[in-house]
């Protein structure tokens, strides 16, 4: 399966994977945590963007601080 996957990746993508695998495990986990945080934030923003918003809820002229 790895052989099939690597044939679908560009040379740059293969180089990045090779570089990542050569990093110390601590650095790999740090990168994974940062990526997971970013993906979760994106999912949350997409979820919130898809919800109907009450008019005036965040109206800057309504005096809400």
Residue-wise pLDDT for 25-46, tens only, equals 999 999 999 999 999 999 999 9
Q: Which domain holds residue 31?
A: 24-51
Comparing 41 with 6, the larger pLDDT belongs to: 41
**Is residue 30 assigned to a domain?**
yes
Nearest to 18 by CA among 39, 1, 2, 38: 2
- pTM, entire model: 0.58
Identify whether 42 is part of a domain: yes
Whether residue 65 lies inside any domain: the answer is no
Q: Which residues contact 50 (CB under 8 A, 6 or more apart)?
A: none
Total structural domains within the chain: 1
**What pLDDT score was predicted for residue 51?**
81
């Amino acid at each position: 399966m790895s052989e099939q996957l690597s044939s679908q990746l560009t040379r740059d993508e293969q180089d990045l994977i090779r570089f990542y695998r050569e990093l110390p495990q601590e650095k790999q986990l740090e990168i994974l945590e940062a990526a997971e945080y970013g993906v979760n934030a994106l999912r949350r923003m997409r979820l919130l963007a898809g919800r109907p918003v009450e008019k005036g809820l965040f109206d800057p002229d309504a005096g809400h601080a």
